[in-house]
């Protein structure tokens, strides 16, 4: 079990899958209510930008940043994953001109448990913590990054360096 912090308050998550392992299968709900799975992205490198909610400044900043960075990462797709409802994600993306990343809602899946990012206790219990998971074209995990402080942006350079 890993500890993440929100304004000094510790909360627990089970921890991310290990690099080198096959990525856990997932089913997430897209903005149009269709489903996205790991298989959807086979043949592409995939960055999972995981966070609590686009309705916070830091999470919104990460979506905007990955939207800009996605165009520079060859054969790579970015999937922004949260518990936000698909309708809220669609509104956010439309209002912010987000076109280079996709969103996936875990509101009806086991994604948080399977990827070890579901917050298990504290005031954010049930939401996802902030983390990055980078998956190769064949569905193997290249690397992961768990943000200890939920209120800080993820390590964008981690992704760029891993995908060089």
Name the nearest CA neighbour of 150 among 79, 80, 89, 59: 59
Please tell me the distance from the alpha carbon of residue 41 to that of residue 38, in angstroms, as a whole number: 6
Please tell me the distance from the alpha carbon of residue 110 to that of residue 128, in angstroms, as a whole number: 11
What are the beta bridge partners of residue 28? 36
Structure tokens at 109: 């899946």
Q: Which one of the listed residues 59, 80, 93, 147 is annotated catalytic?
A: 59
Is residue 59 annotated as part of the catalytic site, yes or no? yes
| Sign of the four-CA dihedral 40, 42, 43, 47 | positive
* Cβ–Cβ under 8 Å, residues 77 and 70: yes
* Cβ–Cβ under 8 Å, residues 51 and 128: yes
Structure tokens at 46: 């995939």
Catalytic amino acids? 59
């Amino acid at each position: 079990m890993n500890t993440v912090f929100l304004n000094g308050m510790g909360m627990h998550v089970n921890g991310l899958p290990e690099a080198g392992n096959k990525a856990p299968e997932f089913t997430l709900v897209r903005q149009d209510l269709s489903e996205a799975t790991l298989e959807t992205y086979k043949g592409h490198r995939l960055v999972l930008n995981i966070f609590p909610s686009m309705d916070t400044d830091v999470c919104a900043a990460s979506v905007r940043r990955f939207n800009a960075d996605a165009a520079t990462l060859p054969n790579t797709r970015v999937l922004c994953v949260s518990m936000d409802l698909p309708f809220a994600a669609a509104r956010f993306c439309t209002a912010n001109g987000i076109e280079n990343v996709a969103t996936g809602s875990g509101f009806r899946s086991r994604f948080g448990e399977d990827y070890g990012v579901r917050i298990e206790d504290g005031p954010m219990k049930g939401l996802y913590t902030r983390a990055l998971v980078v998956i190769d074209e064949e569905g193997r995990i290249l690397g992961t990054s768990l943000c200890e402080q939920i209120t800080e942006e993820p390590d964008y350079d981690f992704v760029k360096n891993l995908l060089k």
